[in-house]
Structure 1
Amino acid sequence: MDDQVFIDASGTRRLKDKELVVPIIVGTVAFSLGKKASESSSHRWTVYLRSPNNEDLSYLVSQVRFDLHQTFQNPQRVVESQPFEVTEHGWGEFDIIVHVYFTLDSGVREAILYHKLRLYEDGEQPGCKQDPKKPVVTETFEELVFSEPRVDFYQRITHHQPSLLLPPSQLAPFFTTINPTLELDMIHRSRMKVASMVRDLALSSGLAAH
């Protein structure tokens, strides 16, 4: 048997000490309702999950569940096809929980992400005048990490040929341009910095104890 492959408890072949990393973006786009605003509805907003290059995610993601604030009717919204997005109206900002469900061959049920809905830019206050045609866009770059993935799943994902999502999301013109390579590099640098700080802290604590 290949030294890089092992058999898990269920008899599935997996890659030893290997990680499969897939970049993903969670975001919100919020439009002010302007003169149509009311006390209970000042904005129309959309929360979404997308790929950095607006590609089709169906090769990896089977469905997405967005957990909204409990004050919304039916706060758990399940989207089973692309684009993975939910549009609502409201007046307040809150944290949205995003459950990402994967294809069966991944062997992983879901990943849970968190995203803050923002209706105002930094420095703006509720009730301030906003341009209804200029939305507030907030996006978070994330990594989906599959540790010691199944061999067949790893091979399928790494050999997948990307294709653009058709038709594209109507919000695509407002998406920010993100370079996954640069974002991943920043994340890896941050991880290394944190690991170094942890080592330094452990070392200083050890010296203090003597």
Structure 2
Amino acid sequence: VISLPFGLVLKMNESSGHTTKVTTLQLLSSLKAINHPFLFHCVFSSMKDRGYMVSTWVDGDSTADVWDVLQPTDLKRMADDLQDQWQALQSQTENQRHPICSAAGGTIVDARVPWIAEERPQVFHDCCVSATEVWLGLDYDIPSGQALRKDMQTVLDTVYHISFCHGDMLPKNFISPGGLARWQEGGSRVCFIDWEQAGWLPIYWDALKTTWVEDDTNSEYT
């Protein structure tokens, strides 16, 4: 990552990662009410193995870095802001027919379900099939597998709508542009960054994944 003049940043990465992010930012630029970095340009090396992307740099505080100093009123406002933007993303992309795939159209690449890309790479056309690929171990004849299947059976049996999802909605990926103080004064909305794991997924995906990174089910974040 290299800082450039005029509030820009150059990011260099494997081409696959940039393909997902470029496709995502191009889509987001056509949508309303979602705060995200703006894509200027992206080129790939002659071997197509590396990408070079120029986008706006979102200067501000990561929510993860300021979490401990947020007041109850801050948390309420942030929750409302995130929910508004999340619902805007869903309402503008929700549909019944889109395949379940990465933003670039290939198999889902997700650090928390790596076996999908590594062992059985595919594009899904059925929510129920994709759910069984995510939730491995449900058929194991062990207490934990049986308990999990009981809890997840409704998800496994339900055909959900598909929407475009961020895929990694952690506090570190929410930035308060201009810093926390400016955000507290109402000068900005939270900006979503790091869309590398974005894709077309069941509408519950972002909400479900936020629970995977919290050990405490009663934490303020979950």
TM-score in terms of structure 2 length: 0.24
Larger radius of gyration: 1
TM-score in terms of structure 1 length: 0.25
Greater fraction helix: 2
Greater fraction strand: 1
